[in-house]
Structure 1
Amino acid sequence: MLNLNLSGSIALVTGATGDLGRVMVRTLAECGADIVIHYLSNESKALELKREVEALGRRAIAVQGNVTKQDDIERIKTEAAEQLGTVNIVVANAVIQYQWTSILEQSASDYESQFESCVMQSVYLAKAFVPAMIEQGKGGRFIGINTECAMQNFPNQSAYTAGKRGMDGIYRVLAKEVGAHQITVNQVAPGWTISDRDREAQSERNEQYESSVPLKRRGSDQEIANTVAFLASDLSSFITGAYIPVNGGNVIPAI
């Protein structure tokens, strides 16, 4: 009997107060993990999530920090270790938001922000959390939230696509570098996903987008969180270096 059980695990979710992050937090906690809830500015939502996790019988802390700053990530690691223990599941979900436009119009600072929040966040998280996973000797999970845009390369996506494709390179190399320690490194690539924001605005449907998706619908935030929970669990113990689209087949990697 298959059992997605994360009891005894401690998971960090960056960008935990965002549309996808908050569902990841709830889902990982429902599976039994204690949670480090990272936030940049939305302290009220972080504390609300903390209460939700604790109501499920799990431990949780809310930690503020800028994931593009190595010192902040090191501080998050220290607070997590002191209050909960060794983090063995890292979910790099945070990303800087910006206004998309053409390459000719996009500012250089937007490319820099995407590099910082996609590539360097992942590097800093690896430097901070992987050594303790290795020392603990029980393996671990390193999961990044990528995007279908990294395969689409549509107009106006350049800064986001560049950041996420750079992130992809980091994860593929890291998977090979830490695999001997039974630490898996994988990416989840959502499509245009339905979240609470859509439900509140009643904007879940978009026929133009749905027409290009083989499953003829948009995915949900819960479906993204389910994939993250699977990759965080022992059920995925022999999967590493993967880029997994969760988008109803809207992009399909080739061999």
Structure 2
Amino acid sequence: MALNLTGRIALVTGATGELGRVMARTLAACGADVAIHYNSNEAKASELQAEITATGRRAVIVKADITNQASVLAMKDTVTSALGDVDIVVANAVIQYDWTSVLEQSPEDYRSQFESCVMQSVYLAKAFAPAMIEKKAGRFIGINTECSMQNFESQSAYVSGKRGMDGVYRVLAKEIGKHQITVNQVAPGWTISDIDRANGTERNEGYEKSVALKRRGTDQDIANTVAFLASDLAGFITGAYIPVCGGNVMPSI
């Protein structure tokens, strides 16, 4: 068996980010054509596009504000025109902000997380689910976080946004499952990415002590799980929240 996505078209939001770029490369390596969404880093998007097209896959870059429905719908039109109907939607983009306590966190930070986690998920579903319903096939994959289960100090805005996203995805899984569309979430732990490799910060003993596997995962670990959920091998998995964190958090039954 292989993760064969040949003939599929994937959209990765936030594809120029630390995790997003590895997801885009991995989906392309499995055979998918890729729409590379970016918000501000056009240079990185173009670099990633060149890298993917060099492998023989098609790739298009598209700028959009994932917190604005009109912008998301325009992104859908651009991608559909360039590549065709999207089969795989990976909701990876999120607004970055400085974490602090509930009492000190700006209300705007809570709004930004709601817009970039909950409303992005809603807008992507409204834009891309209709074509999937018509084809009776498709994948929605949301990037959540282990923080949704941890609820540690200073995480409140991020956790509230991602928990809201979780609610949207679980309900969406039930609503469109009859059309053979799966809706799942991948929840990374504190993941090693290019910025850690450049700074030599891959190790963190304090964090690693709480991880069952006693190490941090990598961006490729996250991308591998996304590719699996995008494939036919995961055709009977939907409504799942899958931590990819070495056992740092474990959903209970």
TM-score for both structures, normalised by structure 1? 0.99
| Counterpart among 246, 249, 252 of residue 248 in structure 1 | 246
Determine whether 1:6 maps to 2:9: no
1:92-171 maps to which residues of 2 (within 5 A)? 92-137=91-136, 139-171=137-169
1:4-153 maps to which residues of 2 (within 5 A)? 4-137=3-136, 139-153=137-151
| 1:191 partner amino acid | G
| Counterpart among 234, 237, 248 of residue 236 in structure 1 | 234
Shift of 1:135: 1.3
Partner of 1:200: 198
Name the SS for the 2:221 alignment partner: helix
For residues 141 and 237 of structure 1, what CA distance do their matches in structure 2 show? 9
| 2:191 partner amino acid | T
Partner of 2:211: 213
Name the SS for the 1:179 alignment partner: helix
Partner of 1:176: 174
| 1:64 partner amino acid | K
The size of the alignment, in residue pairs, is 253
For residues 163 and 153 of structure 1, what CA distance do their matches in structure 2 show? 12
| 2:73 partner amino acid | E
Shift of 1:3: 1.4
Shift of 1:136: 2.2
Q: Which runs of 4+ in 1 moved over 4 A?
A: none
Q: Which runs of 5+ in 1 are unaligned?
A: none
Shift of 1:25: 0.5
Identity of aligned residues (%): 72
Name the SS for the 2:196 alignment partner: helix
Partner of 1:226: 224
TM-score for both structures, normalised by structure 2? 1.00
For residues 208 and 65 of structure 1, what CA distance do their matches in structure 2 show? 38
RMSD: 0.4
For residues 101 and 15 of structure 1, what CA distance do their matches in structure 2 show? 24
Name the SS for the 1:154 alignment partner: coil
For residues 68 and 32 of structure 1, what CA distance do their matches in structure 2 show? 29
Deviations 1:34-66 (A, max 9, x none): 000000000000000100110110001000011
Shift of 1:26: 0.3
Deviations 1:138-173 (A, max 9, x none): x10000000000000000000000000000000000
For residues 96 and 238 of structure 1, what CA distance do their matches in structure 2 show? 31
Q: Which runs of 5+ in 2 are unaligned?
A: none
Name the SS for the 2:176 alignment partner: helix
For residues 15 and 169 of structure 1, what CA distance do their matches in structure 2 show? 21
